[in-house]
Amino acid sequence: MKIIYHPDFIGSYCSDPAASEGRVEAILDVIQDRFDIMKPSPASREDIAACHSDYHIEHIRHLGLYDIAALAAGGAILAAETGLTEPAFGLIRPPGHHASFSSAWGFCFFSNMAIAISKLKREEKIGKAFVLDIDLHFGDGTMNILGSTGYVKILNPTAHDRAGYLREVEGALPEDADIIGISAGFDHHEADWGGLLTTSDYREIGRLVREKSRMAGGGCFAILEGGYNHRVLGHNVLALLEGLDS
């Protein structure tokens, strides 16, 4: 199990909850001594442009956020590439699942998941992919970019009870995907905005993903999206990673 992380992800790059000081540290405090850490490089302009318009890229540059957003996208790429051979987690930010081809909202700037998956596909490292988005909020950006490609299936679970949520995840996970990517938002936790899932539920989701990826002979990885209660965030991340590493 590998953790993809860069020191530049610490600190506040803008005034939103995803950039709040202490968020990454809350995760590192729990997981950093348990797994090997790999440092990413920024995604190339070419890789970003495969999923975003020139207008959008220049808009993010104008906002002064290009460097940190490109580094997050590069972290997602490294997590996906590593995930082909062993589970990996991208401890990255800004998050990305609300970033569409020419626009973004919800604390997102570039679509980290889409950039990573599309790079694997362009380099013929995968044929089919599955994206499981467990964030509280619908991953409209991921859907906008990857939803009509034909080689990616995406699930944003909609069940409103814990048991139903886990059944929905288990029933949708494919047995033929070359890679399963988790948009790992933790704001569905019972002590966060969503108030639904327990810490053990994240462990079970990780276990289900690893099990299905093994059955397919494929890989799996996760990248950080939401999750704003620093008191529980690191423990929820650890639970997911323990499931993926099982």
Of 98, 188, 189, 235, catalytic: 98
Residue 220 has which token pair? Answer: 């799996």
Q: In whole angstroms, what is the distance from residue 174 CA to residue 214 CA? A: 11
Report CA torsion sign: 246, 172, 113, 94.
negative
Any residues with CB less than 8 A from the CB of 44 and at least 6 apart, and which? none
Number of neighbouring beta carbons within 10 Å of residue 190: 14
Active site residue 52: no
- Sheet architecture: strand order including 129-133: 36-38, 2-4, 88-90, 219-224, 179-184, 129-133, 152-155
Query: Which residues are paired to 99 by β-bridges?
Result: 104
Alpha helices by DSSP H, the chain: 23-31, 45-49, 54-62, 66-83, 112-122, 140-146, 162-172, 199-216, 230-244
Residue 82 has which token pair? Answer: 């590593």
Q: In whole angstroms, what is the distance from residue 50 CA to residue 8 CA? A: 24
Instruction: Supply the residues annotated as catalytic.
Output: 98
